[in-house]
Each structure stands twice: as structure tokens, then as C-alpha cells.
Structure 1
Amino acid sequence: MFKSLTTKGSALGRDESAADSTHVYPTLESLVRLRFDARGFSLLPHQPVSSLLSGRHASRLRGRGLTFEELRDYRPGDDIRSIDWRATARLRKTHVRVYSEERERPVLLVVDQRSCMFFGSARTTKATAAAELAALAAWSALDSGDRVGAIIFGDDDIVEVRPHRSRENVLRICHELVRMNRLLKADSGRSNPSKLNAALRRAVSVANHDHLVVLATDYFGNDNDTHRHATRLASHNDVLATLVYDPLGASLPIDGGADVTDGSHETTVNVTARVNERYVEQFRLLAEEIRGRLRSIRIPVLPICTHESIVSQLLNALGERR
């Protein structure tokens, strides 16, 4: 399968000399500026998360954990859902269970910066969109008073930034995102599918329980091991999966030449309506497979498009600011 596709002259990564003007690569300054958009923004929605990929099946992030405080008499205005019916029957008087919200929920970002992510047809590349999403999530976590860390993986390396509650740690995450993104080139070669599972294994060892784990990837290399690692992550944590995609990766321009490459070989394909129909169906089946696997373990999936603002997409999907 071809890992990337471009129409002639449209891929951002083709003209690296124009990288900064076309937003191919993020800068440290651009990721730091996202802290203003992150203020008052929550990655834990107040409503079920739905998306184009999850269809009618909504998943719910648990949000911050609750700690049991006490069992007391029912008072007017108490939520009837908090009534402890066993205690009520035993004590012959209505009792409710009182909980307090956990003060902290560490956030772990798992960010894909492999060569398969170095593709974009308009605003930016998938790799840069993932970096922007991660930076926004990191600043949001810090604004909420939570510790935040990251696992950033490329074709060769995996960088781990342990969760800490400090501006310096978020800046380190942003620095590593920029550094690894800058390693990507149009001729980077074949992407390493095994690094997805290697990064998830690392995430399992870091997020042992009660973390919010945010995945930012296109899931190249997704297989049964991916599902196993995601299941382990979701068993004791909240997991929010984002599927980063470019519209040109979902549908081709008809009646035009398209250059396709697997990282080693390149050829030109004459795109007809029939070719595009097969291509669209292939993307749909891939997205359906990813959605189905994650939905089976109650992980919500948010599509993140390279053509649109990351901030507006997250606000539309997760609801208004706090």
C-alpha cells in the first residue's frame, strides 16, 4: 500500500524551501502561542464524544476520578442518583453516598512524528497537526493544574518526557515536538510501522492508572498488538484517540495525474472516477476498522483534519470552554 499520495505540485512537503511560509513545520513560538487558546479549554467533555468515525455510537470519557467521602442522610436537593439503596433499606432511612472529585488527572500525550505523517495538501501536514494538538493539550493540562508528559515517536527514535506540573516541562515537550518534526523530509523513505506499537508499550508502562492518554496518529501499522496495547491503556485510564488525516488521503482529484510513493518508488496514476471510487472505499474500510477496534474497548475517536484549525475542531467535538 502506498503510504503517501500527492497531486502534482500540491504537497506541502515538496518545496521544503517554502516550509515556514506553508506551515510544513511548526516552530517553538507557534506551539507556545497555543497556550492562549488552551486557557479554560478542557479535554474532558461534559457530553458524550461523537465523531464522523464513531457514527451513532457515542463513547464517554470518565473524566476526573471520584473519591468516596461519606454516607449521610438524604437532603432536599441531593441527586437521587447518589442514593445508596442498600444502606437505605438497611437503615430504614434514605441515605446518599458523597464523593469528591480527584484534584489531579495526569495527562500523557502519545504523538506520531513518523514519515507517514509528513503529508498535507493545504494548511499543514499530519505531523504538524499532531504537534499542534499535543501542544494545545499540554497547555490545557497545565492550565488545569495537572501533570503532563509525552511520548513522541518517529521512525527511529522514541522520546519520553515524564509527567510533571511545570511550564518548563511543557516547553520541553514543545521543543521535542519541533525537533522531531524538523527531522522529517520529503525523501525520508519508508515509514516504520512497528514504532506505533513500541510507543504504545511505553505508554502502558508510564500510564499505570488514572491518566488521560491522548493519541495523535494516523495509525499506520495498526494491528492486533495495537488493539492489545490500547486495551491495557483503557482498562485503568481515560483514552482519547485522534485520527489525523488529510482530505487528499480520503479522496483523489478526478481526471488528473497523482504522484504516489511508498517511500522507495514513485509513479504517476491517472485518476479516473473508478480509481477514486476504489480509493475512497479503501480509506473508508481502514477508518471503519480503526473505529471498530477502538469502539469495542470504549475509546472515543476524533478525526483531526489537516485543512482546519485544530482549536476549532477540538471545541466542536468536545464542547465549549470551561
Structure 2
Amino acid sequence: MDTAEILKRVRRLEIKTRGLSNHIFSGEYHSAFKGRGMSFSEVREYQFGDDIRSIDWNVTARFNHPFVKVFEEERELTLMLMVDVSESSVFGTSKQNKRNMITELCAVLAFSAINNNDKVGVIFFSDGVEKYIPPKKGKSHILFIIRELISFEPKRKGTNIKETLRFFNNATKKRSIVFLMSDFLTGSYQDALNIASKRHDMVGIHVYDQRDKELPSVGLIQMNDLETGERQWVDSSDKQVQQYYTQQFNQHVQYCRNSFKKSGADLISIRTDEDYVKALQNFFVNR
């Protein structure tokens, strides 16, 4: 894809997702995550009804009169987008592939964040961290992120969420809102997710294609694993094969749900041919 085409796609995506952010998501986004942290504001004299646990004993001793610490809700948040760019993310059989869906989701969330004067950063990952963009504010930064989402070419094919979460846990000390977007076709990541969820506000977005769940009945087909390169011939018209295929997918989804639930994090599932606007709205409203 040449530079001109990339810029056209950036502009089209900006118009679509910024409109959604301005008219639909900005308020919901902020309402869902506000109040996740408190920062020190000032010290004032003690008033009847104040919590004695908020008394500042150093200032009280200095003036021989009770003073309390006042905290206020942190207005500035940090949004981190963790984006799966492994080979399986380019799979798609309907309106768009998983990578394109994830790109739109990232753009909507990013514009929602800057509308609230928050910082936005990104981690691109495959079977390791491919690229880290530190959190910053501003429209130009968001447009840079969108360009990278559209044009980024990973060096590796696999998926390793555990190592990506470990990198994030070590690289980011300030509490952040984290959207982890992937089809989650990877090994166990429970321990790393537990640690990240204690430090940050974690939300997983499971993006999948209809054909990840259901085989089309078209007879003998060759199936390729995009990440390992493994190939296998399958009779897609065989009812037992179809049932086994769907069962494996359902078990995979249940594992994802259990992993996020155990860690105290949220998980949203969105199919590539579904309306992600409704899915995000429901999440923000019910959170």
C-alpha cells in the first residue's frame, strides 16, 4: 500500500470513527472509567463530619489545629491499546477481517479518549512486542496511531499474550485503562493477566470471524493455520467434523471468559460482521 492510499484510508477512518466518538462514545467512555483514581488536591481545616482517616497529622501538629487532606477524582486518564497483529488477525470471510475491525475499534476509543483530554498509547504484538508507542495527547498523535494501525507490518506470525502483558506490566507504572484486542489464539496468559488487572483497568475485546466458529458445508477443503503454517484436509460436510469444530471454538471462548473473570477484568466479544457500536455502548452503559 503506497503513502497516498494510506492517507486516504486514514482520512476515511478518521471521519467515520471521530463522528462516532463525538456523538456517541465520549460521554459513555468517560462515565465508564471516571473515578478510577484519586489525586491529592489540598489541605483544609477539619469540618464536622469529615472522615478522621483523612486528617493530615503533620499539618495538624504544626498548627495545633486539625487539618484534613482533600483528594479529587483524577481527570486525566491514560488509555493503552494492545493490538494483536499476528497472522490470524488478517483472517476474514465477511465484511472485513479481524485486523480491520480492531483498527476501527482502536480509532473510536482513541478519539473518545482525546475528547476527554486523555493520553493514548499503543502496543502492537504478535508472539512478542512488535512496537510500543508511548501515551501522548492530541489529534496529531491519534492520526499517527491510525496510520500505524493501517500500515504496520509485523515481523512474526504467532501470538503470545503472556509475554506482551509482562512487557506492559514492566513498562507502565501509572494506572491505565487497557483494551486488549485479539482473537486470543494463544497459550495460557492467566498469571500475567492477574497481575495486569490488579494494576490497571483491563478490558479484553475478543474479535472473531463467523468461520472461526462454523465450518461452511462445501465438502473436502484444505485448512491452513496462518500462524504455524500447518495444513490439513477436512471434510467440511461431515456433521461430526462441524460439531467438533464449533465445540472447540466454544471451549476457547469459555476459557477466555473464565480467564478474564478470574482476574476481575471485563471481556467483550465482537464478530467481524456485527455492529461494534452496539457492543461498545452496552459495555459502557452496563459497566
Question: TM above 0.5, one fold?
Answer: yes
**Alpha-carbon distance in 2 for matches of 1:62, 1:109:** 18
Distance 1:73 1:230, change over 3 A: same
Q: Does structure 1 residue 158 correspond to structure 2 residue 130?
A: yes
SS at match of 1:39: helix
Please name the residue that 2:240 is paired with: 274
Q: Write out per-residue CA displacement over residues 78-124 of structure 1, whole angstroms, 9 at most, x where no aligned residue.
A: xxxxx85989xxxxxxxxx9752111110110001111111112111
Please name the residue that 2:210 is paired with: 247
Q: Give the TM-score, by structure 1 length.
A: 0.70
CA contact (8 A) 2:162 2:193 kept: no
Give the number of equivalent residue pairs.
259
CA contact (8 A) 1:254 1:271 kept: yes
Query: Residue 107 of structure 1: which of 67, 79, 89 is its match?
Result: 79
If each structure's helix is expressed as a fraction of its own residues, which one has the higher value?
2
SS at match of 1:172: helix
Q: Give the TM-score, by structure 2 length.
A: 0.78
Distance 1:39 1:64, change over 3 A: farther
Query: Residue 170 of structure 2: which of 187, 202, 205 is its match?
Result: 205
163-172 vs 304-313, which moves further: 304-313
Distance 1:123 1:73, change over 3 A: farther
**Alpha-carbon distance in 1 for matches of 2:283, 2:76:** 23
Q: Write out per-residue CA displacement over residues 233-267 of structure 1, whole angstroms, 9 at most, x where no aligned residue.
A: 11111011111111221122346454411234253
Q: Write out per-residue CA displacement over residues 141-200 of structure 1, whole angstroms, 9 at most, x where no aligned residue.
A: 1111001110012467611111001112111111111112xx48xxx9x93133x33322
**Alpha-carbon distance in 2 for matches of 1:36, 1:308:** 19
Distance 1:172 1:293, change over 3 A: same
Please name the residue that 1:295 is paired with: 261
Identity %: 25
SS at match of 2:202: strand
Please name the residue that 2:62 is paired with: none
- How large is the Cα RMSD of the aligned pairs? 3.2
Please name the residue that 1:227 is paired with: 190
Q: Does structure 1 residue 37 correspond to structure 2 residue 9?
A: no
1:15-30 correspondence runs (5 A): 27-30=9-12
**Alpha-carbon distance in 2 for matches of 1:136, 1:107:** 12
CA contact (8 A) 2:123 2:129 kept: no
**Alpha-carbon distance in 2 for matches of 1:98, 1:242:** 36
Distance 1:107 1:155, change over 3 A: same
Distance 1:208 1:157, change over 3 A: closer
Q: CA deviation at 1:272?
A: 2.5
**Alpha-carbon distance in 1 for matches of 2:30, 2:257:** 19
Q: CA deviation at 1:139?
A: 0.9
Structure 2 letter corresponding to 1:238: D
Distance 1:149 1:209, change over 3 A: same
Name the structure, 1 or 2, with higher relative contact order (CA <8 Å, separation 6+).
Answer: 1
SS at match of 2:236: strand
Q: CA deviation at 1:126?
A: 0.9
Query: Which consecutive unaligned segments of at least 5 residues does structure 1 have?
Result: 1-15, 21-25, 48-60, 75-82, 88-96
1:117-128 correspondence runs (5 A): 117-128=89-100
Distance 1:288 1:45, change over 3 A: farther
Q: Write out per-residue CA displacement over residues 54-82 of structure 1, whole angstroms, 9 at most, x where no aligned residue.
A: xxxxxxx67531346676445xxxxxxxx
Please name the residue that 1:217 is paired with: 182
SS at match of 1:27: helix
Distance 1:105 1:270, change over 3 A: same
Structure 1 letter corresponding to 2:162: N
**Alpha-carbon distance in 2 for matches of 1:156, 1:98:** 43
Structure 2 letter corresponding to 1:308: E
